[in-house]
Amino acid sequence: MDKQEKYDDDLLRTFLNPDRVERAPEGFTSKTITRIQIEKQSSSLARSFLGKNLVPMVSLAVFAALIIFSVALPANDINPAGSLLWGYLRNPGITLPAINNDFFQNLRVPGWIPYLFIGFLLLMFFDRILFGIFHKHSK
Amino acid sequence: MDYRSDIFYIRQVQDGKINAFSHLIDRHKDKAYNLAFRICANREEAEEIAQDAFIKAYRSLNNFKMKSSFATWLYRIVYNTAISLVRSRKNKILAIEEFPADAVDFLSSCGSQDEAVEEYRSSLVNFAMQKISEDERGLITLYYYNDLDLEEISKITGISRSNIKVKLYRARRKMAEIIGKTENKIVSYHG
């Protein structure tokens, strides 16, 4: 601290009394606690509704998605909307670069292995989604 | 006098006891309110800021890692809220242009001479505080009223230590000049 700084500091310490802080108004603590309690009650009400209904809501959403899929993807081409979507899914019009798949063609694996692999991938995918939903909720 | 540490009450609140939070409020409310008031210079706004800060702190208490003290964490919320409020205000504080030279006459109603001197000094400090910027007011409050060191002030404000030193130097200089000039005026007014 140089001389000027020391002088200013001393002057401020003389004038500025740390014991003379502006005190919080009367009832500050009780008002704040009341606000916290009100907020907690309203958030717990909202959370309890979600908490109680989260599992059926997820089931309902999956169920609805399956129905939509079954309607939109018919076995035959009678439904025009379904046939459009199905047509796109069959031939999305994306060209991928050709790869040398001799290795895979020469590979001999039991026929059920690809299904098992796809099954694992799907289970992993749903597991991550459900973990994300329920773990976040339990926090 | 309550000698239990903040950590004791924080753990209780984390265990779901809301009322333990009232001990933390009681302990820190005056300094939190004073910081908000010194920055925004409005009692209603200061109360709102301090209350909001406690509520925000309560909401995030489960994530509180105890790396810094509860007070440092709380003051950071108060400081940032108050600074952004003042900056968002179109009309800044309506500072009194001149300190009333006859203000000393009104102090004769104080009970004792010591009380009058305290009152006079306090109003002069308030006057000088209005003449500096909001972040300088925050720094002066944290340094002189809350008695914090540069390291803690840096954690609260997010300003580097060296920058705080420079800003404090300037703020002190301005305030000392204002106090000095005002005192001279008062002396010449009273002959």
- Domains identified in chain B and CATH numbers: 6-189 (1.10.1740.10)
Residues of chain A with Cβ-Cβ distance to B121 below 8 Å are: 14-17
Amino acid identity, position B176: A
User: Is B140 an 8 Å CB contact of chain A?
Assistant: yes
Residues 6+ apart with CB under 8 A from A74: A82, A83, A86
Average pLDDT over residues B172-190: 82
Least confidently predicted of B95-99, B142-146, B178-182: B95-99
Of the two residues A76 and B34, the one the predictor is more confident about is B34
User: Is B121 an 8 Å CB contact of chain A?
Assistant: yes
Of the two residues B28 and B112, the one the predictor is more confident about is B28
Q: Would you say how long chain B is, in residues?
A: 191
Q: Does pTM surpass 0.90?
A: no
Rounded to whole angstroms, the Cα distance separating B177 from B39 reads 20
Rounded to whole angstroms, the Cα distance separating B148 from B161 reads 12
Rounded to whole angstroms, the Cα distance separating B21 from B6 reads 10
Reduced to 3 states (helix: H, G, I; strand: E, B; else coil), residue A20 is: coil
Give the position of tokens 């301005």: B174
Rounded to whole angstroms, the Cα distance separating B75 from B148 reads 11
Amino acid identity, position A103: F
DSSP label at residue A25: P
Whether residue B148 has pLDDT greater than 90: yes
* Residue A74 region by backbone torsions, left for phi larger than 0, else alpha for psi between -120 and 50, else beta: beta
Whether residue B90 has pLDDT greater than 70: no
Chain B segment 35-94 residues within 8 A of A by beta carbon are 37-38, 43, 46-47, 50-51, 54-55, 58
Least confidently predicted of B7-11, B143-147, B182-186: B182-186
| Nearest beta carbon to residue B58 from set A13, A28, A36 | A36
Residues of chain A with Cβ-Cβ distance to B179 below 8 Å are: 11, 15
Whether residue B34 has pLDDT greater than 90: yes
SS (H, E, C) chain B: CCCCCHHHHHHHHHCCCCCHHHHHHHHHHHHHHHHHHHHHCCHHHHHHHHHHHHHHHHHCHHHCCCCCCHHHHHHHHHHHHHHHHHHHCCCCCCCCCCCCCCHHHHHHHCCCHHHHHHHHHHHHHHHHHCCCCHHHHHHHHHHHHCCCCHHHHHHHHCCCHHHHHHHHHHHHHHHHHHHHHHHHHHHHHCC
Rounded to whole angstroms, the Cα distance separating A112 from B8 reads 60
pLDDT of residue B191: 59
Q: Do B50 and A28 touch (CB under 8 A)?
A: yes
Rounded mean pLDDT of chain B? 86
Identify the segments of chain A with pLDDT beneath 50.
Answer: 139
- The per-residue pLDDT for range B100-111, each reduced to its tens digit, is 655 566 556 666
Give the position of tokens 């106090």: B179
Q: Do B25 and A28 touch (CB under 8 A)?
A: yes
Q: What confidence category does residue B36 fall into, taking pLDDT thresholds of 50, 70 and 90?
A: very high
Contacts 24+ apart (CB under 8 A), A62-68: none
| Among B6, B30, B55, B178, residue whose Cα is nearest residue A11 | B178
Of the two residues B72 and B187, the one the predictor is more confident about is B72
| Nearest beta carbon to residue B51 from set A5, A7, A32 | A32
pLDDT of residue A139: 47
Give the position of tokens 């796109």: A88
